[in-house]
Amino acid sequence: HYGRGSKKMELRESWRSGPVDEGRVMGGENAQDSAAAVVGQAHDPTRPILCLDVRGDDVVTGSADHSLIVFDAVTGKRRRTLYSKTYGHTDWVTCCAYLPDGRIVSGGSDAAICVWDASAVRCMTLKDHRASVSRLQVDAASLVGLSSSYDCSLIVWDFQRCSQIHALSGHRKPVTTFSWHNSLVASGGRDGEIRCWDINTSSCVSKLTLHDGKQVLSMKLL
C-alpha cells in the first residue's frame, strides 16, 4: 500500500509462496534440530496472523503465510496445519470459523472458501466469490454460513452440502463488514452504504448512507 509521501515498499519474495516445506527443512546434517524447530514453529513469524476462532480447547489461526494452524489452547501445542500443495489457500487467509460439527471454514484473498475436513488435511474449495473474502460467520446452531467479499457481494452458504444458497447483491463497492442475527443481516462497504437483508429471501429491505459516504469498516446489530 502507498500513503501520501511514502516510499515504495517491496514485498518479500517469501510472501508470494506458502509455508515452508517441512521435508526440505528437516534434511541435512542437523535433521533432528530442524525437525524440532518445525514442530515448535507456529506461523511464519515474518507474516501477520489475520484471523482466529475458538472451539473448546482448540484455537485455529489463519495467516498471511496462506496456512491455518490448529492449537491446543491449554498446552500451546500445535495439533495440525491446514495447508498442502494440493489443498488450501493460495493467498492470505483472511477469516476462519468452526462449524458446529468440528470442521473449519476459511476464506482468503484468493477468493476461495475452504471447508476443511474435521481430521484430515484436505478441503472442499468453493470459488463462488470473484475477489478477496473479507469476513465469514457461521450460525452456531446449524451448518449455514455467510461470507462477504471485495466482489461487492455476500453469499449465504449451506455447509452441509458445501454449496451456495443465494447471493446478496447490491453494494457498488467491496463489502468490508456485516452483522448477522436470525434472518436479518446488516452489511457495510466501501460505498458508504449500510444495507439490511432478509437472508431467507435474499432481498434488501432497507438502505442507508451514513458517515458522509465514507467506507464502513465495522458494525453490530443490537
Size (the chain), residues: 222
Tell me how far apart the terminal alpha carbons of the chain are, to the nearest angstrom.
34
CA–CA gap between residue 212 and residue 191 (Å, rounded) = 10
pLDDT digits (tens, 9 = 90+) for 156-173: 999 999 999 999 999 999
Calculate the alpha carbon distances from 184 to 39, 179, 202, 220 in Å.
Answer: 44, 8, 10, 12
pLDDT digits (tens, 9 = 90+) for 191-200: 999 999 999 9
The values of phi and psi at residue 167, to 5°, are -105, 150
Cell reading at 96 = 476462519
Amino acid, single-letter form, for residue 149: S
Question: Which of helix, strand or coil describes residue 38?
Answer: helix
pLDDT digits (tens, 9 = 90+) for 99-153: 999 999 999 999 999 999 999 999 999 999 999 999 999 998 899 999 999 999 9
% of the chain beyond a pLDDT of 90: 72
Asked if residue 17 has pLDDT above 70, the reply is: no
